Structure 1
Amino acid sequence: MTDLPTFEPYMLTPFDHSTSPIHLTPLFIFHPNNPSNPTAILETGVHRLIALLPFLAGNVTPSSRLQGKENVLEAAPPTREFLQLYPMFRVKHHCKPVQSINEVGAHEDASPKRFAPIPYELAGEDVSPIFRVQANVMLDACCQNPGVSVNRLTTNRLKEEQRRQLIFDASSSISTEDVTHEDNSAHDWEPNGDMASQPSVCDRILLDDRKVGGLKESCVGILKNQPNWKRINLSRTSVFIAALWLSLLRARISSSSGSPSKESCLVIVNDCRSRLDRKLPASYMGNALVVKEVYASIEAVLSSMGPSEDRASRADHLGPRDILLLANLAAAIQSGTLSVTNEYICSTLAGFVQQDDWTPNPCLGDLMVSVIRPFDIHGIDFGPSLGPLKDIDMLESRFPSAEWVVPPFERANQKLWELILSLDPAVIEKMRNDDVMKCLGLSQVVVAKL
C-alpha cells in the first residue's frame, strides 16, 4: 500500500466502548483450484476497500475528546511505520496440510496465533488495529472482481459518520432520571471454579434442524398445560440455546468436584441494529451489541440428573421432566431476548455515557451465546477465483464458554444448526453424551476445521 490511508479521527461510540477490547478472528474457508490467483485478487480487494473506507486501516487509541471522562477511545489514522509492522494484508504459507485445529500445534511450532493476522495481545494495547486480513494457504488448497462498480458497496465514510451520530443521539434520548439499571442483586450466581481447569479448545457441534423443530413443538405443548402459563411464541433459536445451556450445566456439574452455585447465568449477545427505532442498517461497520443476562435455578438442573421413572430410555426421546425444564429455560431466554427493546438499548447506552470511566465492564456467565446464524454468508459473491464459501469458523479458544451459532452449511443434503464453542475438552465430551445432545442428533462433535 503506497498511499497512507488518512481520515479525520473520530470518537468511538458507547457501543464500541461497552464491548471488551478483543480482536475476533473469523475464518472463511475456500477450496480454489490454484491459490495464487485468488490471494492476489483478495489483496487487491483489501487495498481497494481501504481506499474507499480508510478508517478500516486506522487504530483504536486513547482519546481526550471528552473532558471529565476517563478511558475514552477514538479511531485515528495509522503511521507508515505501524502499517509496515502490521500490514493490511499478508499471506501465510503453511508447509503441511492442516485439517483441524487440533493438528495446528503439531506442525512447525505452530499455534492458532499463526493463523491470525495480528497478535491477540494487541487488542489491549494503546494502539490497536481496527481491521487486518491474512490469507492462510494450505497444501490442500487453503473477491469479488476488482473492477466491479463501487455502487455495490453498501456503506461509505459519510454514512458511517451519520450512523455513529445516530448511536450518540440514542444515548442522549433518555434523561438521567429515566435511566433504568438492571438490578441483579437478588441473583445468587457465582463464577464456576472449574471453568478454566483445562485450556479451552474450539469445537463444533451439529444439530438436526428437524429435531430442534420437534423439540420446540414439545416444549410449546408442555407449557400450555402449566397452570401459570403465559402465552409466548417460542423460537427454535431459544429452544436450541436452552438445550445447549442445559447440557453444558449438566456436563460441568458432573465434571466438577465442588458444590455448584444456586443459580446459573446465561449471557445472550444481542445485535441492536434492527431494534432501535431509528434502525442501523446491517452494513454499519461499528459495534451494535448489548448483552442480556438470563438466570436459572440449579436445583431443577440437579433434579434432572438423578434417576427417575420418566427419564428417557431411548436416544431419540426425552422424558417429560427434561422437556419441561427445557421449555422453562427456553421461555426465559425468549423473554430476555424480547426485552431488548429500543427503550432498553437507549437506557443501556445512556447509563454507560453517564459514567465517568468508560472502561468496559464485561458480563460474565456460565455461557455466552452470540447468534450470527441469520447472516446471509452464502449469498455473498466472492467471484470465480475464490469460488463459493465452503465453511466458516472462529479461531478462538481464549474465552471459555463463548459460543457462536453460525450460518448453517448443508451437509449430506441435511439442514443443520451449527455451533462453534470454546470449552474445556472434558466438558465437551460430557456434553456429547448428554441425553439432550443425543436426542438432537449431536453425538458427533466435529473438530473445527481451518
Structure 2
Amino acid sequence: MSTTPGFEPYVLTPLDHILWHFSLSTFYTFKLDNPFMAIPILEAGANKLISQYPFLTGNIIERRATGERKGICEVQPPSEEYMALHPFLNIKYHQRKIPSSSTGPSDSESVCTDSLYNGEFIPVPFGQNRSDLQPLLRIQANIMADGIILCASVHHRAMDAYGFFLIMKTFAAYCAGSEPVASFSPDPTDQAYARQQITKSARENLMNYGELYGYSHLCDYNGEKDESPDAPISRLYKLSAARIQRLKTICESLASTLLSKEEIEDLHNSNTKRSGGLFTQNDIVTSLIGLCGARARKQDLFSPSSLAFAANMRSFLQPSQLKNYAGNVVGVPRVSFLTQQGTDVSNSLKLNTILKTQTLFDPDDLFLLFNLALNVRRAIQSINNDYACGLISHIIHQNDWGALTNASSDITVSNLRHVPMYELDFGPIIGKPQSFDLPENRVEGVAWILPARPPSPTSDYYEAADAPWEFRLTLRQEAIDRLLQDKLFQSMCPPTSKL
C-alpha cells in the first residue's frame, strides 16, 4: 500500500454511540480460475479508496473524560508505523478451497462456511480493549485454491449496514476501474457536514428513551470470542418465500377481522410509500424470527419476551446529504410480546373462519405471530423525525456515552434483505460475489437477515419476492435444538433449508 493520506480527527456522532463497541466481519466469496490475478486489482482499488476517503484508515479511541462527559469516541489518523503493521488491505494465502453449502467439517480440502469466523480469515482480532487502537475498517483478501474470500471488518460505532454498503460499492467500482455512481457514493466533503447536522438535529420530546437506550452488558463487552464448549453458535437458515407471503396474507385477514376501522387506517397511513397491504414481508420475517427465537431461548414461555430491530432513520433527518452518509443513522425500537397463548384462540367465532383452513399452521401460533407483527409495524410507524431528533437529544444529555447501547432483548434482528450486496461489481476479472455471509456468533440472540440471493450466479437481477429469506441466528446448542423442534419454525424452515 502507498503512503497513507492524513485527515483531521473527528468525534463520532451521538447516534454512533448506541451501537456496539467492536468490529463486525462480512465475507464475500468469488470463484476464480486464477485468483492471483485479482491481487493487484484489489490493491489498486484499496489505494484509491483510502486516497478518497482517508478516514477509513482511522482508529476509534475513547477520549479521556472532558468536563462532565466521558466515554466519547473519536476517529484518529493512524501512524505510518501502525499502518505498516496493520495495512488497510491484507493479503493472506490458504491452500484450501472455497466452502459451499454442501461442504462440511469432514472435507479436508475445503473450509466449512461456519468456520470462517476466526483469526485466520479476518483482518481485525477479537477482544480488543477500549484502550486499544481499534481500526474503523480493514479488509483481508483470503486467496484460496479456487478463488477469493474477501473479508471486510468494520467497527459498528463507525458505520451501519447501509453506510458500509456505500463504502463497499465505492471500493468495488474502483476495483473495476470506474467511478462510483454519484447517487450511491458518499461524497467525502459531505461526511463532516452530515455529522455536524446530526448533532444539531437534537430536539427533546416526551418519549422515555431511557427504557430503550441505556446501560446493558454489551457496554462492557469488548468483542472477545467465547471458545467454551457451551459458546453461542451462529447457524444459517432459509425460509420459504412463498410461505412468508402466505403468513402475510393470513395476518392481513386477521387485521381486517380484529382491528377497528381507525386502527386499519393508521396502519395504511404508515404504508403510504409501499403497496401490498397492511404488513410487509419484512414485518413477518422479523416477527417470525423473534417469536421462534425467543421460544428457543426461554424456559418460561408465559413471561413477556422482547424483540429489538434496527431501523434506518436517514429519510427522517435533514439534510439530504444523509442519503449518502456512511455513518450510523439507525434507531433500535423494541417491542414486548407473548410466546405462548393462555387460551385456545381457535374457539373464537371471529377467528374460526380464517384459522380453520390453515392446516399448515397452528392457530395459536398464527395469533401470536399476528400480534407481534402488529407491534413491529406500529413500532416502525413510530420512527419519524421527532423520534430521531429526540433520540439524539437523549444521548447528548447523558454523562457517560460509553454506557449507552440499545437495551438488551431476547432477540435482536438486523435486516439486510434489501441491501444489494450481490450487485457489487468488482470488474471483469473478479466479478460479482457468488456468496455473502455474516457468521457473527459472539452475541446470543442476534439475528441477521441476509441480502436476497440472485437465482443464479450469472443473473444480472433478481426478484426479491422469489428469493428465499436467508438469515443467521446465534443461539446456544440447547436453544438450537428447541428451535428446530418448534412446529411453526419447522413449517417455514424444513430440514433441507438449514445450510
**TM-score, reference length from structure 2:** 0.77
Deviations 1:197-239, CA, capped at 9 Å, x for gaps: 9212222111121211111111111232226672131111111
**Percent of aligned positions with the same letter in both sequences?**
24
Q: Give the match for residue 196 of structure 2.
A: 165
Supply the distance in 2 between the matched residues of 1:146 and 1:217 (Cα, whole angstroms): 43
Residue 343 of structure 1 and its aligned partner are, at CA, apart by: 0.6
Which residue of structure 2 lines up, in the alignment, with residue 57 of structure 1?
Answer: 57
Is 1:10 aligned with 2:6?
no
Segments of structure 2 that go 5 or more residues without pairing to the other structure are 149-171, 219-227, 268-277, 346-351, 457-461
CA distance in 2, matches of 1:198, 1:261: 26
Shift of 1:399: 1.1
- 2:348 alignment counterpart: none
* Equivalence map 1:40-439=2 (5 Å): 40-63=40-63, 67-97=67-97, 99=99, 103=105, 112-122=118-128, 124-142=130-148, 143-144=172-173, 145=175, 147-149=177-179, 154-171=185-202, 174-175=203-204, 178=205, 180-182=207-209, 184=211, 198-226=230-258, 230-231=263-264, 232=267, 233-253=278-298, 256=299, 259=300, 262-300=303-341, 317-362=360-405, 363-411=407-455, 415-439=467-491
Q: CA deviation at 1:140?
A: 3.4
8 Å contact kept, 1:206–1:444: no
Rounded to whole Å, the distance in 2 between the matches of 1:168 and 1:430 is: 44
Contact kept, 8 Å, 1:91 with 1:136, in 2: the verdict is yes
Q: Is the Cα–Cα contact under 8 Å of residues 11 and 74 in structure 1 kept in the other structure?
A: yes
What is the alpha-carbon distance in structure 2 between the residues aligned to residue 104 and residue 77 of structure 1? 44
Structure 1 residues 3 and 261: alpha-carbon distance in aligned structure 2, compared to 1, 3 A threshold: farther
Deviations 1:127-173 (A, max 9, x none): 211010001122232344464247757223311111111211112xx
**CA deviation after TM superposition for structure 1 residue 265, in Å:** 0.9
Which residue does 2:24 correspond to in 1?
24
Q: In angstroms, what is the RMSD of aligned CA positions?
A: 3.4
Residue deviations 1:243-277 (CA, integer Å, cap 9, x gap): 12222233334xx4xx4572101111112112325
Contact 1:105 1:111 in 2 (8 A): no
Q: 1:404 is matched by which residue type in structure 2?
A: W
Amino acid paired to 2:404:
N
Instruction: Tell me if structure 1 keeps the 8 A contact 2:3–2:80.
Output: no
Does the CA-based 8 Å contact 1:315-1:435 persist in structure 2?
no
Contact 1:410/1:416 (8 A) holds in 2? no
Task: Count the aligned residue pairs.
Answer: 426
AA aligned opposite 2:437: D
- Say which SS state the counterpart of residue 359 (structure 1) adopts: helix
Query: Shift in Å at residue 354 of structure 1?
Result: 0.8
Gaps of 5+ in 1: 305-309
CA offset at residue 5 of structure 1? 2.2
- Partners of 1:302 and 1:38 in 2: how far apart? 61
Pair 147,408 (structure 1): closer, same or farther in 2 beyond 3 Å: closer
8 A contact 2:254–2:370 mirrored in 1: yes
- In the alignment, the residues of structure 1 paired with residue 365 and residue 472 of structure 2 have an alpha-carbon distance, to the nearest angstrom, of 24
Q: Is the 8 A contact 1:316 1:440 kept in 2?
A: no
CA distance in 2, matches of 1:82, 1:214: 54
Aligned partner of 1:329: which letter? L
Q: Distance in 1 between matches of 2:482 and 2:344?
A: 18
Cα drift, residue 103 of structure 1: 3.4
Aligned residue number for residue 159 of structure 2: none
Distance change (3 Å), C-alpha of 1:203 and 1:149: same
With over 3 angstroms needed to count, the CA separation of the structure-2 counterparts of 1:10 and 1:327, relative to structure 1, is: same
Per the TM alignment, residue 92 of structure 1 is displaced from its structure 2 partner at its CA by: 1.6
TM-fit CA distance, 1:348: 0.8
Q: Contact between 2:34 and 2:147, CA under 8 Å: does it hold in 1?
A: yes
CA apart distance, 1:12: 0.9
Instruction: Evaluate the alpha carbon distance shift between residue 302 and residue 295 of structure 1 in structure 2; reply closer, same or farther with a 3 A threshold.
Output: farther
State the AA in 2 paired with 1:154.
Answer: S
